[in-house]
Amino acid sequence: MRWVRVRRAVVALVAVAGLYGLAAQIGHGRLPDRIWLGTHYVENVQLLPTWRSLAEEGTFLLESDILVSSVAVSTRRVAIGLILGSIAGILLGLLTGLATRLESLADPWVTFFRFTPALALLPLYVVWFGYGESSKVLLIATNVAVITLLGAHQGVRGVPRVYLDAAASLGAGPWLRFRRVVLPVAFPSIFASIRVAAGLAWVTIVVAELIDARMPSLGYLLTLAGAYPRVPTMLLALATVGALVLLFDLLALLLHSWGTRWMERAG
Amino acid sequence: MTDSAPAPVLEAVGVSYSYPGPTPTQALDQLSLEVKDNEFLALLGPVGCGKTTLLRIFAGFLRPTKGAVRCGGATIAGPGWQRGYVLQEQAIFPWMRVRENVEFGLLAKGVEPSARRAVSDELLGLIGLSSFEAAFPRELSAGMSKMVEVARVLATDPSILLLDEPFGALDAQTRAHMQDALARLWERRRKTVLFVTHDAEEALYLADRIVVLSQRPGRIKAQFSVDLPRPRSFETRFSSGFLALKRQVWEATGTEPVRRDHQA
């Protein structure tokens, strides 16, 4: 079952890549290479770079170590932000899920932050935490924390009464009930939220790396490529971010299925 | 105690219970009940008569609005393993393997792993599920799951069992199997049992005494003592004593068509 899905995903990726290559080849020499950028004309723009020019650009980015170091730096930021944000979010979510009074206290704040765009917090975080790593990482962590807080909260609230009653009548105290009943039942919801947050963290990083924008970083690579503009670089940077999102999603998915071995999986 | 009658292990004195809310529902009204030591008492009544409410009060999850409930003379203050409670709903822990489920109560008591294992080995053998020890509950049938729940409650060796329609959701054939298994279990390890059911035949097959409850609010309508020989078997279900009692119980529950004829 799992392999069928992997095969289908690969087929879909190859098909889209193939179609793109075909379109680029047809457009090669036919599409305009001079475009108006609002204030001036830019020459030698490849609107749809061919596979060949993408390969050349890729080789350059790899050989110059730009891509690898950018990936390393951005991944590190996302990973730290994801871990910090998840820990904070899950702890708060468990707390508000267990204590009804805290819920009503936390509720408006969760809604408030849930729909606050990362970009809106950016100036504030720069003022508070400076231009360094911390403002970037904390921006990601904030976004991640809000999502995982909701996941953990709903997970705890969704624990069926029957299990808690059964555990209590078997003599389990609050701590054992929390560890062996609440946590396992809330687990799927928590990890589903981590999966969403992992994707969101990558959305945030591109924005976060506008702070004190400098190489190496994937966000700044994209910004730079847009300034020239160099479409092959943009596409490769986008594809790299996309691949990393897929990788993080896969990791979250593995974690999720490990934690839900006991559940029946349909299909 | 001056006479030889054993003291009640479980006792409800004038218990009333109303579910709070905008339209309070009175589930129980001035109900008094005694369950004696090592007695298998079946509480029989129609759906919604407050049987489950009474059991949840005995289990310690509900406090009576009026009256008192006692266990061994002490007022019941909350849930505890001494009163092993099997819920009406499917309450096996699906995220634990069968063995972990059975050992959960022992884990809560802080029993050593090797000692837990010895108990779960014995109980799994007793319910015939030794080969499923490492299975997750989703691999079990509904009947097997319920037996694991019973074993889970038995693991801590409580002196009292509160069983809330444990076989209510099963088909007739499986239910008969489970009743046999429970009867064998009980004959081997005598305990005080309060068994809630709406099935008269099940009550007769298992119990020493049957208490029939009325429609809501639940009151005691009739009592029967079931003096059928033990161990009970397939033959018991068709013995003349069993059938005669069954007729009486059915009449007491008010399900007999005769009554309608009288009224006509």
Write phi, then psi, for B64 (nearest 5 degrees).
Answer: -60, 140
Kindly report the average pLDDT of chain B as a whole number. Answer: 87
Residue of A169, A185, A264 to mutate when probing chain B, most B C-beta within 10 A:
A169
Domain map of chain B by residue range? 8-256
Report residue A176's pLDDT band, with 50, 70 and 90 as the boundaries: very high
Contact state of A171 with B153 under an 8 Å Cβ cutoff: no
DSSP A178: I
Report residue A166's pLDDT band, with 50, 70 and 90 as the boundaries: very high
Task: Give the residue from A76, A70, A62 showing the smallest Cα distance to A221.
Answer: A70
Confirm if B253 and B200 have CB atoms less than 8 A apart.
Answer: yes
pLDDT digits (tens, 9 = 90+) for A246-257: 899 888 888 888
Task: Tell me which CATH code domain B8-256 carries.
Answer: 3.40.50.300
Interface of B with A (CB under 8 A): 59-61, 78-81, 83-85, 87, 89-91, 93-96, 104-105, 107-109, 136-138, 149, 152-153, 156
Q: What domains can be seen in chain A, in order of their start residue?
A: 1-56 (no CATH), 65-259 (1.10.3720.10)
Give DSSP secondary structure letters for B163-193. EESTTTTS-HHHHHHHHHHHHHHHHHS--EE
Contact state of B79 with A165 under an 8 Å Cβ cutoff: yes
Interface A:B, Cβ pairs < 8 A? 74
Task: Give the residue from B37, B43, B137 showing the smallest Cα distance to B90.
Answer: B137
Contact state of A168 with B79 under an 8 Å Cβ cutoff: yes
Query: What are the residues whose beta carbons fall under 8 Å from the beta carbon of A138, sequence distance 6 or more?
Result: A81, A84, A125, A129
How high is the pLDDT of residue B2? 46
Three-state secondary structure call for residue B83: strand
From chain B, the residues in CB contact with A185 under 8 A are 95
Determine how β-strand B40-44 pairs with β-strand B209-213. parallel
Average pLDDT over residues B77-94: 91
> Which segment, A183-187, B124-128, B254-258, is predicted with the most confidence on average?
A183-187
Q: How far is B227 from chain A (nearest CA, A)?
A: 32
pLDDT digits (tens, 9 = 90+) for A180-208: 999 999 988 999 999 999 998 988 888 78
**Is it the case that residue B262 has pLDDT exceeding 60?**
no
pTM for the whole structure: 0.81
How high is the pLDDT of residue B261? 47
How high is the pLDDT of residue A180? 93
B76 vs A265: which has the higher pLDDT: B76
Rounded-to-integer distance, Cα B148 and Cα B132, Å: 10
> Which segment, A71-85, A98-112, B215-229, is predicted with the most confidence on average?
A71-85
**Is it the case that residue A66 has pLDDT exceeding 70?**
yes
How high is the pLDDT of residue A267? 34
How high is the pLDDT of residue B21? 84
Between the CA atoms of A16, A21, A26 and A32, what dihedral angle is there, to the nearest 10 degrees?
Answer: 100
Rounded-to-integer distance, Cα B194 and Cα B43, Å: 7
Closest-CA residue of A relative to B103 is A170
Write phi, then psi, for B171 (nearest 5 degrees).
Answer: -75, 165
From chain B, the residues in CB contact with A186 under 8 A are none
Task: Give Cα B151 distance to the centre of its chain.
Answer: 13
Contact state of B90 with A162 under an 8 Å Cβ cutoff: yes
Comparing A28-37, A79-88, B190-199, the range with the smallest average pLDDT is A28-37
Give the one of A171, A261, A264 whose C-beta lies nearest to B81's C-beta.
Answer: A171
Query: What are the residues whose beta carbons fall under 8 Å from the beta carbon of B131, sequence distance 6 or more?
Result: none
Comparing A90-94, B46-50, B51-55, B172-176, the range with the smallest average pLDDT is B46-50
**Is it the case that residue A91 has pLDDT exceeding 80?**
yes
Average pLDDT over residues B111-138: 91
Contact state of B136 with A169 under an 8 Å Cβ cutoff: no
pLDDT digits (tens, 9 = 90+) for B18-59: 988 888 888 888 889 999 998 999 999 888 788 899 999 999
Side chain identity, residue B123? L
Structural tokens at position A58: 């890729």
Rounded-to-integer distance, Cα A240 and Cα A6, Å: 19
Rounded-to-integer distance, Cα B24 and Cα B194, Å: 27
Rounded-to-integer distance, Cα B205 and Cα B228, Å: 9
Cis amide bond preceding A184, omega within 30: no
How high is the pLDDT of residue B79? 92
From chain B, the residues in CB contact with A168 under 8 A are 61, 78-79
How high is the pLDDT of residue A16? 92
In B20-167 the beta strands, taken as DSSP E runs, fall at 25-36, 40-44, 66-71, 74-75, 83-86, 160-164
Structural tokens at position B43: 């509480």
How high is the pLDDT of residue B244? 92
How high is the pLDDT of residue B194? 95
Give the one of A163, A166, A171 whose C-beta lies nearest to B156's C-beta.
Answer: A171
Contact state of A171 with B80 under an 8 Å Cβ cutoff: yes
pLDDT digits (tens, 9 = 90+) for A117-159: 777 888 888 889 988 888 889 999 999 998 999 999 999 999 9
Rounded-to-integer distance, Cα B139 and Cα B98, Å: 10
Contact state of B93 with A166 under an 8 Å Cβ cutoff: yes
